[in-house]
């Protein structure tokens, strides 16, 4: 067996090997590319030749200061005879002469045989490459746009004017807002609606915390985030008393203790809001988004259980309610 470097006269044979690989292993959802001759000239291509016949091929190149194994393919009848390792040893010499310390390669997840070989040789996974159809990406982006977060803050008071003054004074210190709507008292609660805060859960939380500090009373933040997960945060005298998330791992895996902490406490919420703890317990369930009602529907049911009206309205919807006041921050 001879390992030699490919020359331009070998390019048709190299194309033959690439096409054979694609026929056998290509599993990506898009067609294989047509490789230009520039690809053949970049890096080093080695051929394993035996009795005048090419039985294997490997290509290596330098990428961003590391060696990269671009391609390895052996004829089916020439496998498990040491040809692949012989080609790699020659490539290693090329990489070593180039002064690199690490070698990378890409392998399709569907090619389990190759994955097993590379792992035996010491390669480990350090990233994943993902793919989707452009049409699918555009559709999902449209869904995300339609599923923007909604949210509102509800202060346990009948003093709408006090909340208007607090908003005018403190909101500009918390975030940039083009205007906040303060609703008229309904069932002992004054609703606060702000587009910027509704779309950013951290701002909504800050607004609720600040209003609880200012009023010294109970304030509830209610939101449906990303159109998929309902969050409730309850404050009293500026202190957070309870937090609930319908899908605890929506933003990533959580330790079991943290997930438990995001369960609603019906007893505490009943005391703070006057709602029926049993009704709160029935509504404030946890699970995957597929197991629960749509987030806006769940948000509305939770607000009803708490005795809160007009939860999750947009600023325009809130402004259209009788007695609502727009607080200008301009």
Per-residue confidence of the chain (330 residues) as pLDDT tens digits? 789 898 888 888 989 999 998 888 888 888 888 877 778 788 999 999 988 899 999 999 999 899 999 999 999 898 888 889 999 999 999 999 999 999 999 988 888 888 999 999 999 998 888 888 888 878 766 655 545 789 999 999 999 999 999 999 888 888 888 889 999 999 999 999 998 898 888 999 999 999 999 999 999 999 999 888 999 999 999 999 999 999 999 888 888 778 788 999 999 999 999 999 999 999 999 998 889 999 999 999 999 999 999 998 989 999 999 999 999 875
Q: Could you identify the residue written with the tokens 């895996």?
A: 253
- In order, the DSSP letters of 118-169 are HHHTT-----------HHHHHHHHHHHHHT--EEEEEES-S-HHHHHHHHHH
Which pLDDT score, from 0 to 100, does residue 140 have?
Answer: 64
Which pLDDT score, from 0 to 100, does residue 143 have?
Answer: 56
224, 149 Cβ separation under 8 angstroms: yes
Q: What is the pTM of this model?
A: 0.58
HSE toward the beta carbon, residue 54, CA cutoff 13 A: 19
Which pLDDT score, from 0 to 100, does residue 145 have?
Answer: 52
Which pLDDT score, from 0 to 100, does residue 27 have?
Answer: 85
> What is the rounded CA–CA span in Å between residue 193 and residue 326?
9
Which pLDDT score, from 0 to 100, does residue 142 have?
Answer: 64
> What is the rounded CA–CA span in Å between residue 76 and residue 15?
17
Which pLDDT score, from 0 to 100, does residue 149 have?
Answer: 82
HSE toward the beta carbon, residue 238, CA cutoff 13 A: 5
Helices 201-215, 160-174: axis angle to 10 degrees equals: 130
198, 149 Cβ separation under 8 angstroms: yes
Which pLDDT score, from 0 to 100, does residue 59 have?
Answer: 94
Which pLDDT score, from 0 to 100, does residue 44 have?
Answer: 92
Runs of H (alpha helix) within 187-306: 195-199, 201-215, 256-261, 266-273, 277-283, 295-306
301, 283 Cβ separation under 8 angstroms: yes
Which pLDDT score, from 0 to 100, does residue 130 have?
Answer: 85
């Amino acid at each position: 067996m001879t390992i030699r470097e490919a020359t331009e006269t070998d390019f048709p044979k190299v194309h033959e090997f690439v096409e054979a690989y694609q026929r056998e292993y290509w599993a990506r959802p898009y067609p294989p590319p047509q490789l230009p001759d520039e690809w053949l000239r970049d890096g080093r291509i080695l051929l394993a030749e035996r009795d005048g016949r090419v039985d294997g091929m490997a290509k290596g190149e330098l990428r961003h200061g590391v060696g990269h194994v671009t391609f390895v393919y052996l004829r089916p009848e020439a496998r498990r005879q040491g040809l692949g390792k012989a080609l790699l040893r020659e490539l290693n010499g090329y990489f070593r002469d180039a002064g690199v310390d690490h070698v990378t390669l890409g392998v399709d997840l569907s090619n389990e045989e190759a994955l097993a070989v590379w792992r035996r040789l010491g390669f480990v996974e350090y990233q994943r490459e993902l793919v989707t159809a452009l049409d699918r990406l555009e559709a999902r982006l449209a869904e995300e746009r339609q599923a923007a977060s909604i949210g509102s803050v509800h202060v346990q008071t009948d003093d709408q004017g006090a909340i208007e003054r607090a908003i005018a004074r403190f909101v500009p210190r918390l975030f940039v807002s083009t205007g906040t709507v303060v609703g008229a008292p309904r069932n002992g609660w004054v609703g606060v609606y702000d587009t910027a805060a509704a779309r950013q859960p951290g701002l909504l939380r800050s607004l609720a915390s600040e209003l609880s500090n200012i009023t010294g009373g109970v304030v509830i933040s209610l939101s449906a985030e990303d159109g998929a997960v309902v969050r409730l945060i309850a404050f009293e005298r500026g202190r957070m008393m309870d937090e609930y998330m319908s899908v605890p791992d929506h933003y990533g895996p959580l330790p079991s203790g943290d997930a438990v902490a995001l369960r609603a406490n019906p007893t505490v919420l009943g005391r703070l809001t006057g709602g029926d703890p049993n009704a709160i317990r029935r509504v404030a369930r946890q699970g995957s988004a597929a197991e629960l009602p749509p987030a806006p529907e769940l948000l509305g049911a939770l607000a009803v259980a708490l005795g809160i009206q007009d939860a999750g309205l947009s600023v325009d919807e809130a402004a259209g309610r009788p007695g609502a006041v727009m607080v200008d921050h301009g």
